[in-house]
């Protein structure tokens, strides 16, 4: 059974990108598509495009390489953004198949067919060869163009739009969602969902229907939606007055899907006066800790004695951090697994263990597939997400929301502290003094000038290591990841005891070690590591607590050679990780800003990692 599941996961391949579309009996301002795409940019941002059907049934299409803002500028410079239409589609891309070019950007067209697609078509080469033999020409090299050509070809041999679409779907293999329009049939929009997410939004007056990868794309005021299930075919039809969505399975049997009420589509998301979303989100961290801890602590999971956390990236580090406290203070056996590894091993699973899947987006493919694998074996699953409507929340037996609010910056910051605070609330409901923690996290923000000074020194290093022991090590990993992601400096994390087992060989005058050493039970050991680094001419940055100033200054080697000593508030092991987390977030932010990087959209990344 497990092999079957692993094979199924492999077969599903990779899916990214964001799609949005509308069909309305009213005329809709097509600039709304651009606003929706801005909110979907977390799914990929290498190129984007929109298309809509004009009154004369011609198709307007505009694509751009780069950010949605580039497309907005391009459209503004080449005519009005404020065009009205009954039907339109939009796409933001994270390239998987075919390089980043205008030709490969979506929407893709063929004849009167125009479509957007999120996912991969595994057998596209074979279909493409057949279409080339049938005389069709291709302008780019994506699998998506093949879908457009195939539907167009089906129409040309006499099929209706709907039948051409159905016949196409029956030939395609892969994991994808799709929205197609046809200027010959402008009162219809056809959609298909398999693995890649697709949600249908319905306006209150039933005069407009939206389709998107995420409810975030819907305009404000959309309160009802239907989450499409795998292999749903959705025919959206306008009779000129109302618009309806008919759901079919692959055998064209009509199916009923539940309507979720009172959803909260984001509408406009603002930076609230901050320069970037990242800075805004870092500033939200202290408030979130208090909010989430107080809200969640009534939902205890403390009766579970064995936990297996499964997650990726920053969410995994939140698990590693939490496991330290679960074992020490709640006597809970806590194991941490990287989802992409866990899925491909043959993990020993246990009946009395609760499998906890942590994911900010709730869409991370590796975590989702690991969850499906554990569920398929009948084990107990729980999800910790920042999106209650996400695939991971819906798949798990139960879930909790970390209530961090939409996290727009690609690098996760506020979700990390929200995940940690949530896990503390779920397992140790009375342990955190959140008033004090919030206040001292704000103190780190107020100390930003000191962090900026440090950032000035750090930007010249090519080799940065973050070092900590036990819970500080989890923060070291988080710090190194943020530094890499945002500044592209190759930063590594080590537990202090491991330095002497190999990494110390890399120490020389060009290395900068950022060391977490507040005065706690690990201080002496960690300082020894710092001394070993200074003895080899490495530069050290010590992050310690204010009352430790006199003590740290007695370490003459550290003081004389150190590039920097930063002070956080006095605390204890329940509170230091919060101060250190916001510190490393702000440090990575400042380094990246000084290097002129785009902190909200670092290169090569996407917020929702729905690729293998
Ligand atoms: C790092 C970061 C990523 C995510 C990882 C998992 O700043 O954002 O490492 O933490 O891709 O994402 P989620 O939590 O959405 O499953």
At 9 the pLDDT is 34
Q: What is the pLDDT of residues 361-415, one digit of tens each?
A: 999 999 999 999 999 999 999 999 998 888 899 999 999 999 998 898 999 999 9
Long-range contacts made by residues 448-451, C-beta under 8 angstroms, separation at least 24?
A: 448/586, 448/590, 450/566, 450/567, 451/566, 451/583, 451/586, 451/587, 451/590
Which ligand 1 atom is nearest residue 609's CA? 11
Whether 177 contacts 144, CB under 8 Å: no
Q: What is the pLDDT of residues 303-334, one digit of tens each?
A: 999 999 999 999 999 999 999 999 999 999 99
Q: Is the CB of 319 under 6 A from ligand 1?
A: no
% the chain with pLDDT above 90: 81
Asked, as a colleague might, if the bond just before 9 is cis with ω within 30 of 0, I would say no
**Residue range 583-607: mean pLDDT, rounded:** 94
The tokens for 379 are 């084990």
Residue 12 has pLDDT above 90, yes or no: no
Which ligand 1 atom is nearest residue 313's CA? 9
Residue 468 has pLDDT above 50, yes or no: yes
At 605 the pLDDT is 86
Q: What is the pLDDT of residues 243-267, one digit of tens each?
A: 999 999 999 999 999 998 877 665 5
DSSP secondary structure string for all residues of 19-69: EEEEEEEEEEETHHHHHHHHHHGGG--SEEEEEEE-TTS-EEEEEEES-HH
At 263 the pLDDT is 77
- To which H or E segment does residue 244 belong? strand 243-248
Q: Which residues contact 226 (CB under 8 A, 6 or more apart)?
A: 199, 200, 202, 245, 247, 257, 258, 259, 260
Which of 61-75, 116-130, 310-324 reaches the highest mean pLDDT? 310-324
How confident is residue 449, by pLDDT bands cut at 50, 70 and 90? Answer: very high
Whole-number Å distance, alpha carbon 584 to ligand 1 midpoint, is: 16
- Could you tell which of 312, 363, 410, 475 is best to mutate to test the pocket of ligand 1, judged by most ligand atoms within 8 Å of the CB? 312
Whole-number Å distance, alpha carbon 100 to ligand 1 midpoint, is: 23
- Provide φ and ψ at 452, rounded to 5°: -65, -40
CA distance 352 to 349: 9
Q: What is the pLDDT of residues 106-122, one digit of tens each?
A: 999 999 999 999 988 99
Residue 2 has pLDDT above 50, yes or no: no
Average pLDDT, the chain: 92
Is-catalytic flag, 156?
no
**What strand order describes the sheet that includes 354-359?**
333-338, 306-311, 354-359, 380-385, 398-401
Whole-number Å distance, alpha carbon 277 to ligand 1 midpoint, is: 16
At 80 the pLDDT is 63
At 172 the pLDDT is 96
User: Higher model confidence: residue 608 or residue 600?
Assistant: 600
Q: What is the pLDDT of residues 470-518, one digit of tens each?
A: 999 999 999 999 999 999 999 999 999 999 999 999 999 999 999 999 9
Whole-number Å distance, alpha carbon 557 to ligand 1 midpoint, is: 38
CA distance 87 to 255: 24
**Dihedral angle, C-alpha 424, 426, 429, 435, nearest 10 °:** 50
β-strand partners of 199: 212, 227
Residue owning tokens 């984007």: 48
CA distance 262 to 22: 19
% the chain with pLDDT above 70: 95
Q: Is the CB of 360 under 6 A from ligand 1?
A: yes
At 356 the pLDDT is 98
Q: Is the CB of 85 under 6 A from ligand 1?
A: no
**Residue range 589-612: mean pLDDT, rounded:** 88
Residue 231 has pLDDT above 50, yes or no: yes
User: Higher model confidence: residue 220 or residue 466?
Assistant: 466
Residue owning tokens 């590894």: 341
The tokens for 46 are 């290498």
CA distance 370 to 342: 7
Q: Which residues contact 556 (CB under 8 A, 6 or more apart)?
A: none
Which ligand 1 atom is nearest residue 415's CA? 14
Which of these ranges, 1-15, 125-139, 293-307, has the smallest mean pLDDT? Answer: 1-15
Q: Is the CB of 361 under 6 A from ligand 1?
A: yes
Name the active-site residue from 297, 372, 482, 607: 607
Whole-number Å distance, alpha carbon 312 to ligand 1 midpoint, is: 6
CA distance 327 to 319: 12
**Residue range 525-551: mean pLDDT, rounded:** 95
At 265 the pLDDT is 61
Q: Is the CB of 480 under 6 A from ligand 1?
A: no
Q: Is the CB of 411 under 6 A from ligand 1?
A: yes
At 561 the pLDDT is 67
3-state secondary structure of 428: coil
At 45 the pLDDT is 87
At 3 the pLDDT is 38
CA distance 484 to 195: 30
Which of these ranges, 93-102, 272-281, 502-511, has the smallest mean pLDDT? Answer: 93-102
At 216 the pLDDT is 86
The tokens for 314 are 């920053």
CA distance 413 to 554: 34
The tokens for 155 are 């129409």
Whether 76 contacts 102, CB under 8 Å: no
Whether 165 contacts 190, CB under 8 Å: yes
Q: Are strands 199-202 and 243-248 parallel, antiparallel or unpaired?
A: unpaired
At 78 the pLDDT is 83
- Could you tell which of 417, 488, 609 is best to mutate to test the pocket of ligand 1, judged by most ligand atoms within 8 Å of the CB? 609
User: Higher model confidence: residue 384 or residue 298?
Assistant: 384
Residue 48 has pLDDT above 70, yes or no: yes
**Dihedral angle, C-alpha 160, 164, 167, 172, nearest 10 °:** -170
Whole-number Å distance, alpha carbon 314 to ligand 1 midpoint, is: 5
Residue 5 has pLDDT above 70, yes or no: no
Q: Which residues contact 424 (CB under 8 A, 6 or more apart)?
A: 293, 322, 325, 431, 432, 574
Which of 67-71, 179-183, 195-199 reaches the highest mean pLDDT? 179-183
Residue owning tokens 């003459």: 556
Whole-number Å distance, alpha carbon 384 to ligand 1 midpoint, is: 13
Give the other-Cβ count within 10 Å of 495's Cβ. Answer: 19
C-alpha 43: how far from its chain's center? 7
Residue owning tokens 């569920």: 375
At 269 the pLDDT is 67
Q: Is the CB of 390 under 6 A from ligand 1?
A: no
107: exposed, middle or buried (Cβ count in 10 Å: 0-12, 13-18, 19+): buried
Q: Are strands 47-53 and 59-65 parallel, antiparallel or unpaired?
A: antiparallel
Is-catalytic flag, 17?
yes
**Residue range 282-310: mean pLDDT, rounded:** 92
């Amino acid at each position: 059974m497990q092999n079957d599941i692993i094979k199924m996961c492999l077969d599903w391949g990779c899916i990214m990108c964001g799609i949005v579309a509308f069909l309305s009996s009213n005329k809709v301002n097509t600039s709304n598509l651009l606003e929706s795409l801005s909110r979907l940019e977390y799914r990929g941002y290498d190129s984007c495009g929109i298309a809509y059907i004009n009154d004369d049934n011609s198709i307007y299409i505009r694509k751009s390489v780069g950010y949605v803002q580039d497309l907005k500028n391009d459209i503004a410079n080449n005519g009005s953004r404020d065009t009205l239409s009954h039907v339109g589609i939009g796409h933001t891309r994270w390239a998987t198949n075919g390089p980043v070019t205008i030709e490969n950007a979506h929407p893709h067209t063929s004849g009167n067919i125009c479509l957007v697609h999120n996912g991969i078509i595994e057998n596209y080469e074979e279909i493409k060869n057949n279409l080339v033999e049938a005389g069709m020409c291709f302008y780019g090299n994506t699998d998506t163009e093949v879908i457009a050509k195939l539907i167009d070809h089906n129409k040309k041999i006499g099929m209706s739009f709907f039948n051409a679409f159905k016949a196409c779907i029956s030939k395609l293999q892969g994991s994808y969602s799709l929205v197609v329009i046809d200027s010959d049939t402008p009162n219809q929009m056809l959609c298909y969902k398999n693995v890649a997410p697709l949600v249908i939004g319905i306006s209150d007056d039933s005069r407009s229907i939206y389709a998107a990868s995420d409810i975030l794309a819907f305009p404000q005021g959309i309160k009802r939606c239907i989450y499409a299930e795998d292999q749903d075919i959705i025919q959206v039809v306008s009779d000129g007055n109302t618009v309806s969505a008919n759901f079919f399975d692959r055998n064209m049997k009509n199916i009923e899907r539940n309507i979720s009420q009172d959803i909260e589509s984001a509408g406009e998301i603002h930076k609230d006066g901050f320069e970037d979303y990242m800075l805004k989100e870092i500033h939200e961290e202290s408030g979130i800790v208090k909010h989430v801890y107080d809200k969640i602590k009534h939902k205890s999971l403390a009766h579970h004695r064995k936990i297996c956390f499964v997650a990726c990236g920053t969410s995994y580090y939140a698990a590693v951090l939490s496991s330290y406290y679960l074992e020490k203070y709640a006597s809970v056996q806590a194991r941490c697994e990287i989802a992409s590894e866990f899925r491909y091993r043959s993990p020993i699973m246990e009946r009395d263990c609760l499998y906890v899947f942590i994911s900010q987006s709730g869409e991370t493919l590796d975590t989702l597939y690991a969850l499906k694998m554990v569920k398929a074996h009948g084990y107990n699953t729980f999800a910790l997400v920042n999106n209650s409507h996400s695939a991971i929340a819906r798949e798990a037996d139960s879930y909790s929301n970390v209530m961090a609010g939409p996290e727009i910056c690609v690098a996760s910051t506020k979700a990390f502290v929200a995940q940690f605070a949530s896990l503390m609330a779920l397992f140790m409901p009375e342990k955190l003094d959140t008033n004090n923690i919030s206040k001292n996290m704000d103190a780190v923000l107020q100390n930003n000038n000191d962090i900026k000074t440090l950032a000035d020194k750090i930007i010249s290093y090519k080799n940065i290591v973050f070092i900590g022991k036990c819970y500080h090590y989890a923060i070291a990993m988080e710090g190194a990841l943020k530094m890499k992601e945002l500044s592209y400096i190759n930063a590594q994390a080590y537990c202090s005891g491991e330095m002497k087992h190999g990494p110390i060989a890399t120490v020389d005058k060009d290395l900068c070690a950022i060391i977490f050493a507040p005065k706690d039970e690990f201080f002496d050991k960690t300082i020894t590591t710092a001394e070993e680094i200074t003895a080899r001419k490495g530069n050290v940055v010590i992050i310690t607590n204010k009352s430790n100033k006199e003590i740290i200054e007695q370490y003459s080697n550290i003081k004389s050679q150190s590039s920097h000593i930063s002070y956080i508030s006095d605390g204890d092991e329940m509170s230091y990780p919060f101060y250190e987390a916001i510190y490393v977030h702000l440090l990575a932010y400042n380094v990246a800003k000084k290097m002129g990087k785009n902190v909200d959209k670092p290169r090569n990344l996407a917020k929702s990692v729905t690729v293998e």
